[in-house]
Amino acid sequence: MFQLRRSAVRCLVQQRRAFTSFPKLSSIAMSSVAENDSKPVAGWTCTDKFVNEMKFIQKQETVQAYRVMDHTGTVLNPEHDPKLSKEQVLKCYESMILLHTMDGILYDAQRQGRISFYMTHYGEEAMIGSAAALTPQDVIFGQYREAFMLVYRGFSIDEFVNQCFSNELDYGKGRQMPVHYGSKKLNFQTISSPLGTQIPQASGAAYALKLSGADACSLCFFGEGAASEGDFHAGLNMAATLKSPVIFFCRNNGFAISTPSSEQYKGDGIASRGIGYGIDTIRVDGNDIWAIYNATKAAREMAIKEQKPVLIEAMTYRIGHHSTSDDSTKYRDRKEVEERAQFDNPVTRLRRYLENKNWWSQEQEDAYRKKVKKEILTSFTAAEKRKKPAIKHLFTDVYDELTPNLIRQQNELLELVKKYPEYYNTDEFASS
């Protein structure tokens, strides 16, 4: 027996679901957190907030995923079809095919030892819907599986391939692993390997956008695995309390390398965490480009107009291995992967949507695949022949100007290389 003092009873979480109206997408249901819920805890004085019944809050209802189009490419409720023009839909589909083809060629190139590393997007191609819903001013913070955003924004095949070869044309000057793209021109922040670092950065960038009064938001992608990092919590809380216009976009593909999501969390995925931080949240079908498009568009509008963060969790499946350093047959059934690839493939879904409208044919498919394959192989051959970045770039760009100790180290290295040409062949490096 024990006695419970009234003051010790606290209601831990009060989740309120509301239907928030948006001018264009009035019926997307978001788990919304009302403004006065964000009042400080110091407001816990009025007696109606206290009860004398001891009640632990148990598992909440699973947040359902918003879907527009099923696996046959059929739109379930025509009101939710974003009704993009033929040109816009073809841009999305062609971007998917380009990404898919590039993934195939560069993955094989790593297997042949021609590049050092690669990561594919198989199964997650519908994410391109998020790219279509943004404007070029929106700042992107990716994890590493977001080349779709760059494809959509016009990063050229040469730019992709030069980065993967770490050659002298790579913007990072060979100092990052392949797929760590970045583009100032396209408002895409350079990828960094340590998981989760982009999350507080995106919150900070959003706060800067808020202060400057820009008509833009930041969009931060991460996997459900990265959401286990402390940076995830810091980033979400910072954006929520500072009311910053950022869209947190979790690609929940079921795996963090070999760890299935069932071993990553006990709660209701990542969506439940957004609600916990007082952030309006939606879960979507991650294989449905139109669900992703509608949710991102609505989230952008809310983030900018209402100056607050929004969280989207897209439920999908990683069909490819985690990276070229992984063999997923060691921890999951090959059959399961094949079934997912066949039955619920985001590329096939969009293709069926196009075919239902008579906007695409097998001939167009064959011709387009052939064309992009040729373009990628041409870029590939040219990039492979390029020199590596000049050795001096081992030292540049950390500071605006080289510091005295870096100058000393640089000179020491260059002298060493000159002294022992039999060990250090510099032919394959650019001279400046």
Ligand X SMILES: Cc1ncc(C[n+]2csc(CCOP(=O)(O)OP(=O)(O)O)c2C)c(N)n1
Catalytic residue among 10, 111, 331, 424: 331
**Least distance CB 3 / ligand X (angstroms):** 45
Q: Which of 97, 169, 226, 246 binds ligand X (CB under 6 A)?
A: 226
- If the CB atoms of residues 137 and 325 are measured against ligand X, the closer one turns out to be 325
Instruction: Measure the CA–CA gap between 347 and 122, rounded to whole angstroms.
Output: 9
Q: Which of 23, 113, 194, 404 binds ligand X (CB under 6 A)?
A: 194
Q: Does 253 bind ligand X (CB under 6 A)?
A: yes
**Least distance CB 223 / ligand X (angstroms):** 2
Using CB under 6 A as the binding criterion, the count of chain residues that bind ligand X stands at 16
* Catalytic residue check, 318: yes
Q: Which of 195, 279, 311, 376 binds ligand X (CB under 6 A)?
A: 195
**Least distance CB 195 / ligand X (angstroms):** 4
Using CB atoms within 10 Å of the CB of residue 402, give its burial: 0 to 12 exposed, 13 to 18 middle, 19+ buried.
Answer: middle
Structure tokens at 149: 């955003």
Q: Which of 223, 274, 286, 389 binds ligand X (CB under 6 A)?
A: 223
**Least distance CB 227 / ligand X (angstroms):** 7
Q: Which of 129, 225, 274, 278 binds ligand X (CB under 6 A)?
A: 225
Catalytic residue among 145, 283, 322, 351: 322
Cα→Cα distances 277→58, 283, 305, Å: 18, 15, 20
Matching residue, tokens 């189009």: 69
Part in contact with ligand X (CB under 6 A); list of ranges 95-103, 255-263, 282-290, 421-429: 255-263
* Catalytic residue check, 322: yes
* Catalytic residue check, 331: yes
- Pairing outcome for strands 139-141 and 218-223: parallel
Catalytic residue among 80, 273, 300, 318: 318
Q: Does 145 bind ligand X (CB under 6 A)?
A: yes
Q: Does 256 bind ligand X (CB under 6 A)?
A: yes
Part in contact with ligand X (CB under 6 A); list of ranges 54-62, 70-78, 193-201, 386-394: 193-201
**Least distance CB 312 / ligand X (angstroms):** 15
Q: Which of 26, 193, 378, 381 binds ligand X (CB under 6 A)?
A: 193
- Report the residue number whose CB is nearest to ligand X: 223
CB crowding 102-122: b at 16 or more within 10 Å, else e: bbebbbebbeeeebeebbbbb
Return all residues near 30 (Cβ < 8 A) that are at least 6 apart: 18, 19, 20, 280, 281, 282, 298, 302, 310
Q: Which sign does the torsion angle of CA 256, 259, 260, 264 carry?
A: negative
Q: Which of 103, 168, 224, 344 binds ligand X (CB under 6 A)?
A: 224
Instruction: Measure the CA–CA gap between 141 and 208, rounded to whole angstroms.
Output: 14
Q: Does 403 bind ligand X (CB under 6 A)?
A: no
Q: Does 322 bind ligand X (CB under 6 A)?
A: yes
Sheet holding 188-189, edge to edge: 65-66, 280-285, 310-315, 246-252, 218-223, 139-141, 188-189
Window 258-297: contact mask with ligand X (x via CB under 6 A): ----------------------------------------
- If the CB atoms of residues 226 and 304 are measured against ligand X, the closer one turns out to be 226
Instruction: Measure the CA–CA gap between 383 and 380, rounded to whole angstroms.
Output: 5
Part in contact with ligand X (CB under 6 A); list of ranges 16-24, 108-116, 162-170, 189-197: 189-197
Residues that bind ligand X (CB under 6 A): 145, 193-195, 222-226, 251, 253, 255-257, 318, 322
What are the catalytic residues?
Answer: 318, 322, 331
